[in-house]
Chain A
């Protein structure tokens, strides 16, 4: 009985692979050939989409900012929070994931306002943590990951 060779996989980069397979011919001769399976395509598409969004944000006056610490006597940030800063007559600092925003007449005030909202939201959710609906429960979970009480 004719034996069909098992395909062999060679790893070229962590995510690109060459697959050796067998080409069948009419006279039953078999010769291996190689096919590059491009599994970077999805990743590249996602990165392109992210760059495109960032370019749109930049064009619309939005900036990405990092908030590294809270000016709080009670809380500290375990890691920086990424937020968008929207410039205009009113400056808005916004984090869509937390669904929180701060506002001010300039960048500094908007960032400070965001920190106040973040702190007050933390303690409000902590107080009512047993009674939170799905969205606020999720926010409370995120806040617990990024904020630590002094």
Chain B
């Protein structure tokens, strides 16, 4: 089971990894939103709360689904570089979230 992830790790690990292949726009509102854009299309959107130091395992489960990952472990994999931005791109192609 995945452990909670620090917000800083989520931003520098997961979001910055995704940024290697996608444009990620950060939007501030009642929460911190991340919009994932690819070839001029907004394809994914996820968020976390302000004012928390870490993201709980349950919230990571919801973020996993919003990013179309198969498991919460893949969030850890993105953070730890064992899943690359290219792998993530391939995953979204396999799921027909984006075209080839």
Contact = CB atoms under 8 A, between A and B. Distances in A.
Interface of A: 86, 88-90, 92, 94, 96, 99, 101, 103, 113, 116-117, 120-121, 124, 128, 131-136
Contact of B58 (A90, A116, A133): A90
Contacts of B45: 121, 124, 136
Nearest to B40: A131
Interface in B47-100: 47, 49, 56, 58-59, 62, 65-66, 68, 96-98
Contacts, number: 61
Given A89-B56, A99-B65, A133 B29 contact: no
Interface string B18-61: 00000000010111010101101111110101000000101100
Contacts of B41: 131-133
B27 A133 contact: no
A92 B59 contact: yes
B29 A120 contact: yes
**For the complex of A and B, 5 pairs with smallest distance between CB atoms:** A133-B43, A101-B62, A116-B30, A133-B41, A90-B56
Contacts of A135: 43-44, 68, 97
Contacts of B47: 117
Given A128-B42, A131-B40, 5 more contacts: A92-B58, A92-B59, A99-B66, A113-B30, A121-B45
Contacts of A131: 37, 40-42
A136 B43 contact: yes
Nearest to B66: A99
A101 B47 CA distance: 9
13 contacts: A99-B66, A101-B62, A103-B56, A113-B30, A116-B30, A117-B47, A124-B27, A132-B41, A134-B96, A134-B97, A135-B97, A136-B44, A136-B45
A133 to B, nearest CB: 4
Contacts of B33: 120, 124
A88 B42 CA distance: 33
A94 B42 contact: no
A136 B59 contact: no
Looking at B35, B42, B47, B68, which has the most chain A CB atoms within 10 Å of its CB?
B42
A105 to B, nearest CB: 10
